[in-house]
Amino acid sequence: MKTTRKISFRNWMLTGVLATGLAVSSVFAPVAKAADPLKIGFSMALTGPLAGAGKAALIAMQIWKDDVNKAGGLLGRQVEFVYYDDATSPSKVPGIYTKLLNVDKVDLVVSSYGTNEISPAMPIVMRKGLVFMSLFGLAVNDKFNYDRYFQIMPAGPIPKDDWSRGFFKLAMEQSPAPKTIALLSEDADFALSAVAGARRHAKRIGLKVVYDRTFPFGSPDVTSVMRAIKAANADLVYIGSYPGGSVGLVKAANELGLKAKMFGGGMVGLQFAGIQKNLGPLLNGIVNYDFWVPEKTLNFPGVNAFLKKYQVAAKGKGVDPFGHYLPPFAYAYLQILGDAVTAVGNLDQKKIAEYIHKTTFSTVVGNVKFAKNGEWATTRTLQVQFRDVAPNDIGQFNKPGKRIVLYPDSVKSGAIQYPFRK
C-alpha cells in the first residue's frame, strides 16, 4: 500500500514535469518557428542551353531576397532559397520538386525558367495544393487549369494567341496587306506553342500558309531551312526558336537575302546583349517579341534601380550584362508572392491564391493583374523592331532607340519600318 502510494506520487511528479514541459514548449514553439528561415524552393536552368537566362534569373531572385531580408524578411522570418540546377532538362524537374517538398520541406515553391521546365513540376505542386508562381511559361496552365498557378510573363489571358497578336496586327495594318506566311518552329514546348498561336492568327486573318515546319532543337546549321523558306517566297516569316537556332536563322536570312516583308516573331535570344552585339546590323528591321526594353514608355517605378543592382551583381558572372529580358520579371514574380504572403499574414495557400487573384500588384515591371487562368489579365507582349543598330557596340542596347516598341499602343515608342529591309 505504501509502495503503491510512493509510485503514485512519483507518477504525479512525472506527469507534472511532463505537463510543465509541454506547456513551456508550447509557449516557446511559435518563437522557435518564427526564428526559422522561410524557405522558398525551386529548380533553375543553371547549366544547359537555357542557363544564360536561368543564371540571370537567379541573380535577380537573390536581389529580391536581399531586399526583403534587409526589410525584416517575410512574416518576420528571413527568406532562404533552396534550389537545384535542372540543367535545362525537363526530366530532372519532377525529382527536384519532390525533394524540395518531401525532404527539404520548403514553405513555398516557385518555378524554374521556361515552359519546358515548368510543365513537369505542375503535377507535383498541384498534388500538394501549393501556390505556384511561374517564370516565363507559355500557356502551361491550358493543360492543367490549376487555380493556384500564376505566370509572370505578360503573354496575356489567351497566351498562345496573345503572344503573336501584335505581330499580326502590325502586319495587317500595312499597305498592301501581306497575303502569305511561312511558319517555322524549333521542336520544343515554347516555340511550338508560339507558332501554334501564329498559325491560328494566320487562319483567322486568311493568310495563305506557304511553309509550315519544325526543326530539331539545337540543330547545328539551319541554312537549308532558311533556303526552303526563301524559296516559299512568303510575305511574312514567323519563327519560334531558341538562342542557337535564332542566331543561325538571322545569319542565314542575311546570307541568302531573305525577301520577306516582316521577319521575326518568337525568336528567343535576340533579347540577350551578347547575341545582339554579335549580330549587330544583321538585326536591323527584324520585328520580334520582347518584354522590357529601355524605352521611356516602359520606365516603371523601381525598374531602373533594380537594373542598376542587377548590372553590378552580373559583372564577371558570364550572364547577360544588362538584364532587360528576364531579370525584372524574376524579381517581380517573387515581389508578388512576397506581397501576397505579407498581406495574408500566414502561409495558407488557398488564401494566398485568392489574394493574388483579386489584387493588382505594383511591381518593377509595372502593374500586374492576373486573369482567372493565372496569366496576365491583359497582354503586354511587346513587338519591337531593331533599328539603326551599329556593329560592335554592346553599349547601344542599354539605351533607347535601338529596339522601338511597336505594340501594344499603351507603351508604343515608334512606327514600324515596312518592309523590314528597305
Partner 1 sequence: MFTPELLLNAVVAGLMLGSFYAAVALGLSITFGQLDIVNIAHPTFVILGSFVAYIINENFGLDPVLIGVLFMPIFYFIGTTLYRVYYASFERTGQESLSGLAFFFGLMFIIEVVLILTFGVDYRLVEADYIGQTLHLGPLDFPYRMLVPAIAACIVTGAVVLYMNKTFMGKAILAVSQDRLALQLMGANPLQVKRIALGIAIATAALAGALLIIIQPVEPSVGRMYIGRIFAIVVLGGMGSISGTFLAAILIGVVESIISTFYGPSWAPAVGFGILLLTLAIRPQGIFGRA
Residues at the site binding partner 1, with contacts judged by CB under 8 A: 46-49, 51-52, 54-55, 87-88, 187, 213-216, 218-225, 227-228, 231-232, 243-244, 247-248, 251-252, 254-257, 269, 272, 274-275, 278, 282, 317-320, 392
Each as own residue / partner, the long-range contacts of residues 340-348 (CB below 8 Å, 24 or more positions apart, any chain) are: 340/131, 341/74, 341/75, 341/108, 342/74, 342/75, 345/75, 346/75, 347/75, 347/107, 347/108
Cβ closest to partner 1, residue 57 vs residue 170: 57
Identify which of 46, 138, 53 has the alpha carbon closest to the alpha carbon of residue 327.
53
Cβ closest to partner 1, residue 26 vs residue 392: 392
Cβ closest to partner 1, residue 93 vs residue 131: 93
Cβ atoms of residues 418 and 261 within 8 Å: yes
At residue 383's C-alpha, the angle toward residues 378 and 385, to 5°, is: 160
> CA-CA distance, 289 to 163, in Å (whole number)?
8
CB of 392 to partner 1, least distance (A): 7
Cβ closest to partner 1, residue 154 vs residue 245: 245
Cβ closest to partner 1, residue 278 vs residue 297: 278
CB of 183 to partner 1, least distance (A): 12
- Would you give the distance in Å from CA 202 to the centre of its chain? 26
Cβ closest to partner 1, residue 178 vs residue 243: 243
CB of 64 to partner 1, least distance (A): 21
Distances (CA, A) of 96 to 37, 112, 349: 20, 11, 21
CB of 194 to partner 1, least distance (A): 17
SS3 405: strand
Cβ closest to partner 1, residue 174 vs residue 278: 278
Cβ atoms of residues 42 and 133 within 8 Å: no
CB of 175 to partner 1, least distance (A): 28
> Where do we find the cell 518564427?
34
> CA-CA distance, 62 to 69, in Å (whole number)?
10
Cβ closest to partner 1, residue 271 vs residue 381: 271
CB of 231 to partner 1, least distance (A): 5
> CA-CA distance, 192 to 186, in Å (whole number)?
7
Indicate if the alpha-carbon torsion angle 263, 89, 61, 159 is positive or negative: positive
CB of 329 to partner 1, least distance (A): 18
CB of 128 to partner 1, least distance (A): 30
Q: Taking each helix axis as running N to C, give the angle between helix 303-314 and helix 327-344, from 0 to 180 degrees, rounded to the nearest 10.
A: 120
